Structure 1
Amino acid sequence: MKVIFEDLALFIKELFPNQDFIPLHAPLFIGNERKYVMDTLDSTFVSSVGSYVNRFEEMMCEITGAKHAIAIVNGTNALHMALILADVKAEDEVISQSLTFIATCNAISYIGAKPVFLDVDKDTLGLSPASIKSFLEENATIKADGFTYNKNSGRKIKACVPMHTFGLPCRIDEIAEICARWNITLIEDAAESLGSYYKNKHTGVFGEIGTFSFNGNKTVTSGGGGALITNNSELALRAKHLTTQAKVAHPWAFVHDEIGYNYRMPNLNAALACAQLEQLGKFVENKRELAGLYQNKLEGTNIKFVTELADAKANYWLNTLILEDKEQQQEFLGYMNSNGVMARPVWELMHRLQMFENSERGNLENSKWIADRLVNIPSSVRL
């Protein structure tokens, strides 16, 4: 295997030349970023009120096809707000996946709700519809109030939060059908999948609410930032109200009518985001080309490149490989990182973290199998 590792490392260095250490995903600023940020500074509107915040929300609607978009300070807070809008309460249960980034579970925990960890599909790395269906049929019941309850814990199962892992769309239409059948609110964690489509619809629009991240390592970035999208006008109005400290509109008085949150994206970040969003199509096509190069390079080896479903168009935020076993995974990580190429495993499975070790879970066979074999390799947009 060392020969394959060496060959792949050299190939990556040819793809990303003149770098001592090739990062996993670096931002690229080649458009109007400087112009828009300087415009914001000149205007003095650098906080959450400004023309670029409005433009950012308009652009997110144009890109995703959603009716409404709300600019949020980061992706984690967007998830937190989505759960609040879904009326998730303390002690309610929220179905998600153990193979996810910690932000998903942190947002659930902010409310005092309880995550239920179910398995993912091996081909999408995202929440498995079959796993949800099986869990609900075995453990849940719909009561007279119309809501679904966990027969074991007695808690209401209020929401489901699947993630489009590394930008690869999961079988979100099947998940949406199951959630509708059980009256469970579907919130899409699309943090990594801006520019990804499933069955010709952008990720984030299949559920009641979708959330996105614009962190520094995402396909497009605002430094720090997030967004919430929805087709529900009432939820959109409430989201904007709550994220601006629940302040009642008034020419001069400061009156707030409920507990609110300081969650609006600053205009300074929105300016950067708008310039980056202008290049989203170009960036995604560049990344898809890179994914194709990796896939071709690894044909005929025992390293599997993870590809999109037939009905999907992924942004390939992070290119993902599946190795033979845990030993080979560790060898790969050691070799690459020692030879100038950043590689990393998937996040520690959530049910293995101390905070969530007592959480309810289903059969996580696929999640454990993937965690022992998955690695990500450099995925930046190339000039």
Structure 2
Amino acid sequence: MIPLAVPHLAGNEARYLRECVDTNFVSSVGPFVDRLETLVAECSGAAHAVATSSGTAGLHAALLAAGVSPGELVVVPAFTFIATANAVSHCGAVPWLLDITETDWTLDPEQLAGVFERETRRDGGSLVHVASGRRVAAVLPVHTLGAPADMDPILELARAQRVPVVADAAAALGSLYRGRPPGALGADLSVFSFNGNKTVTAGGGGAVVGADAALCDRVRHLTTTGRSGTDYTHDVVAFNSRMTNLQAAVGCAQLEQLDVLVAAKRRIARRYDEALADAPGVRLFPRAPWARSACWMSGVRVGGVPELVARLGERGVGARSFWKPIHLQPPYREAPRAPLPVSEAVWAEVLTLPCSAGLVSEDQETVIEAVRGCLAR
């Protein structure tokens, strides 16, 4: 079976793990954690970085640090992985679901402007959702498939209403938005994931980046049990969401190869686009003119995805469907939402194809032949 997306461990991973064992730094303190934070900040264009135990934990802490409280609303695109909405719920807040655009499958700035104008009002220093009376506490755009959301208009709208922006940049390391890397787009905080299927993996873990030292210090405090001083005083109910030195060792080795890994992902995506553009019923993944995607996942948009996944599996190809929108998930069926026509049209037609950074050209040609064969039947 040609797998969908597996790690490509071709650098110093084994050597760095050996160093962890040899030095006894295997837990949440160690030189590789510090090094990873430095590398993530540099690679993303951010001033500061905080390593976390997962991308979801990073989103949770980032939202809390940005001031999200129980009962409040956070704007979230409906088309995202459920962890985005879960991070909001872990804060005791409620996701307010908006649609995506056909252009890039990310949060629709025009719809955001419309709901802010029609469905909210200013109340002192807060933006309040009129129908529910809830404060709008944050906007949470998602960089879908490693392609940045259209951040300039989103940030302009949020800033005008004094609403913080936390970006879910889980798979966006290596991407560019109008020539800028994902940690330098203006969001208050951005969050990356190093899960096993990401282009850069640590086997797990995540990182929160930002320009504001105090805000990033708040994230660090929240993810390290809220400990203040050395006498076991803890000044806030916090979390143990730290990355281990073992994870960071793998992550550092991967970050050293970021350019090579992203170049491989882009090459794979480009080949699928070239080979499948004229296949029956196929539309390509969007490529927004303002962005250069990191191409975390490759594939096509096409009907009949469940059947295609099964038939490709019979041919030894590990294709998959993709995210089911948040409003169709049982925990969020009652979440407030705007009309979601694009999310509802797109999600069932996304077919992801094998795109590991180590995918060899012969295997990719096998995938292409299998896809074309299935579509021709």
For normalisation by structure 2, the TM-score amounts to: 0.92
Deviation digits for residues 158-210 of structure 1 (CA, Å, limit 9, x no counterpart):
10111111112221221111111122111000001111111111124321000
Q: Tell me the residue number matched to 2:315.
A: 339
Q: Report the residue type matching 2:235 in the other structure.
A: D
Give the superposed CA RMSD.
1.2
Any conservation in 2 of the 1:169–1:308 contact (CA below 8 Å)? no
Does 1:191 find its partner at 2:167? no
Q: 2:35 aligns with which of 43, 50, 55?
A: 55
Q: Tell me the residue number matched to 1:365.
A: 341
Q: 2:248 aligns with which of 265, 270, 273?
A: 270
Report the Cα distance in structure 2 between the residues aligned to 1:339 and 1:313, rounded to whole angstroms.
32
Report the Cα distance in structure 2 between the residues aligned to 1:81 and 1:299, rounded to whole angstroms.
41
Q: Tell me the residue number matched to 1:118.
A: 98
Does 1:176 find its partner at 2:152? no
Instruction: Return the offset for 1:340.
Output: 1.1
3-state SS, counterpart of residue 173 of structure 1 = helix
Any conservation in 2 of the 1:188–1:204 contact (CA below 8 Å)? no
Any conservation in 2 of the 1:27–1:217 contact (CA below 8 Å)? yes
Report the Cα distance in structure 2 between the residues aligned to 1:258 and 1:147, rounded to whole angstroms.
24
Instruction: Return the offset for 1:334.
Output: 2.5
Report the Cα distance in structure 2 between the residues aligned to 1:224 and 1:155, rounded to whole angstroms.
34
3-state SS, counterpart of residue 210 of structure 1 = strand
Alignment of structure 1 residues 97-176 onto 2, 5 Å: 97-143=77-123, 145-176=124-155
For normalisation by structure 1, the TM-score amounts to: 0.91
Q: Tell me the residue number matched to 1:281.
A: 259
Does 1:290 find its partner at 2:268? yes
Any conservation in 1 of the 2:269–2:299 contact (CA below 8 Å)? no
Structure 2 unmatched ranges of 5 or more: 361-377
Deviation digits for residues 325-360 of structure 1 (CA, Å, limit 9, x no counterpart):
4xx333322221222111222222111112111110
Does 1:23 find its partner at 2:3? yes
Runs (4+) off by over 6 Å: none
Q: Tell me the residue number matched to 2:325.
A: 349
Q: Report the residue type matching 1:141 in the other structure.
A: R
Q: Tell me the residue number matched to 1:89.
A: 69
3-state SS, counterpart of residue 40 of structure 1 = helix
Structure 1 unmatched ranges of 5 or more: 1-20
Alignment of structure 1 residues 305-344 onto 2, 5 Å: 305-323=284-302, 325=303, 328-344=304-320
Instruction: Return the offset for 1:125.
Output: 1.1
Any conservation in 1 of the 2:210–2:216 contact (CA below 8 Å)? yes
Q: Report the residue type matching 2:7 in the other structure.
A: P
The answer to which of 89-98 and 177-186 deviates more is: 177-186
Report the Cα distance in structure 2 between the residues aligned to 1:366 and 1:346, rounded to whole angstroms.
15
Q: Tell me the residue number matched to 1:258.
A: 236
Instruction: Return the offset for 1:61.
Output: 1.1
Q: Tell me the residue number matched to 1:208.
A: 188
Report the Cα distance in structure 2 between the residues aligned to 1:338 and 1:162, rounded to whole angstroms.
37
Any conservation in 2 of the 1:193–1:315 contact (CA below 8 Å)? yes
Any conservation in 2 of the 1:126–1:162 contact (CA below 8 Å)? yes
Deviation digits for residues 99-132 of structure 1 (CA, Å, limit 9, x no counterpart):
1101111111111101111000122111111121
3-state SS, counterpart of residue 369 of structure 1 = helix
Report the Cα distance in structure 2 between the residues aligned to 1:375 and 1:123, rounded to whole angstroms.
18
Instruction: Return the offset for 1:60.
Output: 0.8
Q: Tell me the residue number matched to 1:66.
A: 46
Q: Tell me the residue number matched to 1:232.
A: 212
Report the Cα distance in structure 1 between the residues aligned to 2:79 and 2:313, rounded to whole angstroms.
23
3-state SS, counterpart of residue 192 of structure 1 = coil
Report the Cα distance in structure 2 between the residues aligned to 1:372 and 1:254, rounded to whole angstroms.
50
Instruction: Return the offset for 1:305.
Output: 1.6
Report the Cα distance in structure 1 between the residues aligned to 2:86 and 2:161, rounded to whole angstroms.
24
Any conservation in 1 of the 2:102–2:286 contact (CA below 8 Å)? no
3-state SS, counterpart of residue 216 of structure 2 = helix
Q: Report the residue type matching 2:89 in the other structure.
A: S
Report the Cα distance in structure 2 between the residues aligned to 1:40 and 1:213, rounded to whole angstroms.
22
The answer to which of 219-228 and 309-318 deviates more is: 309-318
Q: Report the residue type matching 1:97 in the other structure.
A: P
3-state SS, counterpart of residue 184 of structure 2 = coil
Instruction: Return the offset for 1:300.
Output: 2.4
Report the Cα distance in structure 2 between the residues aligned to 1:169 and 1:358, rounded to whole angstroms.
28
